Amino acid sequence: MHESSRVRWSEFAIEAIIRVLGFSTIGFVLLIFLFLLREGMPVFFEVSPDNLFGTRWYPTFGLFGTLPLILGSALVTVTAIVIALPLGVATAVFVREVAPGWAREVLKPTIEVLAGIPSVVLGFFGMTIIAPLVREVLGAPTGLTAFTGAIILAYMALPTIISVAEDALDAVPKSYRDASLAMGATRWQTIWRVVVPAAKSGIVTAIMLGMGRAIGETMAVMMVTGNAARMPLTLDSLFRPARTMTATIAAEMGEVAQGSVHYHALFGIGIILFVLTFLINVAAASTMFKQRERGGLR
Amino acid sequence: MNRYLVQRIGFIVLGVATFLVVVPILLVVGTIVVRGIGAISWEFLTAVPRNGMREGGIFPAIVGTLLLTLGTALAAIPVGVGGAIYLAEYARDTRLTRAIRLAIINLAGIPSVVYGLFGLGLFVLFLQFGTSILAGSLTLAIMTLPIIISTTEEALRTVPNEFRTVSASLGGTRWQGIRYIVLPQALPGIITGVILGLLRAAGETAPILFTVAAFYLPRLPHSPFDQTMALPYHLYVISTQVPGMPMEIQYGTALVLLALVLSMNIVATMIRSYFRRRRAW
């Protein structure tokens, strides 16, 4: 009798602990947002809105225009996706639909290696190898440009894009392919007209997740984009230095006095980043949930 | 145009794209190995940096990274595995569990530098841990949670339901079934997930920038409240902040970091494939 009541009690305690651990994830997200607000909100009272959304970021002169940083992030991210998306989807299709078994066995782990390379190592490689190349080939005065950053970012987003796109292709039932082939279509026609369109929503998810990763990437971007907070509005902006939101935080937080306007402004950029990635992830998650609710294609 | 010709061209385009993805990967790894291998010596791995880091070794940075990874493991494994057990074994599909899943997806998507800001705000300043191994480890631990939770949950879900039913039919409680039947079966998958999470933590720079990393500290830390050097931050510092830094030391440091992370990756993959092949069910 004693024995069983002790078992029941410890059972209860353990279940309670596990429940709390499960719920703690929500707590962490709230806690992160709370602390960003706590340290970042003051900037909205200390700095006037037209300064805050102005075009000049010179914190030492009291100019906190975040526009060049937001546009810098957008320029680098969009360019990275433009490079990574066709490459990633084509690679996923090749690995899943075209490549023979042995090639798949070689290609998949190689792509996984890319996901494991630390961002600072890719940034270092970008600085020492790619930037000089960009300078020579494009004749830019410096190789540290938005474009250099976008190349590195594209390769950082590729593993995500490839694996999500591959999952989407995997979910297309074999009967679709068989039906198409039975109609006399070639394998290429089957891939291009049947399989890829059927996997479209998964591919959209891949783009969103890749984008979320690209916006948030910090070290590599900071090391190769040249970090000039200028408005990227001219046509050659891509081949000039740019500065992103993440790089601004990483580069400046170390030298800033705690509690100063500049300190609050950097946390304010953190709030913008948090909200942006939150929205992107919710959008990506909801398309994933929707797919699953429809029973996917399985 | 002949449709078989179109197919031929299509396949070639796909192959070229794959080539463009794979070759740079090999180029990055190859370059760093070839240029860095010359720097690797017993002294480089076990000596402290000298002369403003331009000479000597990277021992404190290696130890710092190992300590941070250990601290991250201690904090993240219990929470992550516990959370995953909840999701896989206890949670029903309610609004609350959906909120938890959304929270996990979001934790995975928050930029690493924002984790750094959060760690600075909560651990360094609010809880007054200072810039310390403790603050850095906890920051990295929260960042690693989503990886550990999602891979652990997947590992738990692959254990067939019959195992749980049999345990219950023998009079075992729910927790006994999990503790003695499900967890041991899922262990290889859990270990794989934990290693994958930790290798991300070991390679990250942005979250440790303001929470723990020391620019130049040629000695080992004495307590969890000490700052420490760390490999990723050290590589950033010597490649961007120190003028006249010998290329060989830079490539050597990059190689050590890459080797550390990739070897963890290989171990995880080996555990996974070994147990998958051996699995009886």
SS3 A217: coil
For residue A281, pLDDT beyond 80:
yes
Chain B 34-73, residues with CB within 8 Å of chain A CB atoms: none
- Checking if the pLDDT of A46 tops 60, the result is yes
- Please tell me the number of Cα atoms within 13 Å of A166 on its side-chain side: 18
Task: Inform me whether the pLDDT recorded for A298 exceeds 70.
Answer: no
Contact A128 B22 (CB under 8 A): no
Contact B85, A18 (CB under 8 A): yes
- Of A25, A118, A281, which is closest to B83 when you measure between CB atoms? A25
B79/A273 Cβ within 8 A: no
Q: In which residue are the tokens 């509690």 written?
A: A259
Closest CA to B148 of B74, B90, B94, B93: B74
B232-275 pLDDT per residue, tens: 999 999 999 888 888 999 999 999 999 999 999 999 988 888 88
Whether residue B31 lies within 8 A of chain A, CB to CB, comes out as yes
Contact in structure between A119 and B203 (CB atoms under 8 Å): yes
What's chain B's average pLDDT?
A: 92
**Strand, helix or coil for residue B274:** helix
pLDDT at A183: 93
Higher pLDDT, B113 or A298: B113
Tokens of B258: 């890459």
Specify the pLDDT at position A229.
83
Provide the pLDDT confidence category of residue B33 given band limits of 50, 70 and 90.
very high
Cα-flanking dihedrals φ and ψ of residue A4, to 5°? -70, -35
For residue A297, what pLDDT is reported? 42
Where is pLDDT greater, at B39 or A10?
B39
Supply the pLDDT for residue B173.
87
> Chain A: residue nearest B31 by CA?
A125
Rounded Cα distance, A254 and A249, in Å: 9
**Angle, alpha carbons A255-A256-A260 (nearest 5°):** 170
User: Which residues of A59-142 form beta strands (DSSP E)?
Assistant: 63-64
The distance of A29 to chain B (nearest Cα, Å) reads 6
Check if the beta carbon of residue B178 is closer than 8 Å to that of residue B190: no
Q: Would an 8 Å CB–CB cutoff place B239 in contact with chain A?
A: yes
In this prediction, residues A208-233 reach a mean pLDDT of 90
CA dihedral A68, A71, A76, A79 (to 10 degrees): -140
β-strand partners of A64: A57
**Alpha carbon distance B174, B151 (integer Å):** 22
ipTM: 0.93
Whether the pLDDT of residue A109 is over 80: the answer is yes
Distance CA B122, CA A271 (A): 15
Q: What is the mean predicted confidence (pLDDT) over B139-146? A: 96
Q: Which residues from B are below 8 Å from A114, CB to CB? A: 25
Residues 6+ apart with CB under 8 A from A180: A189, A190, A193, A194
> What is the structure's pLDDT at A3?
59
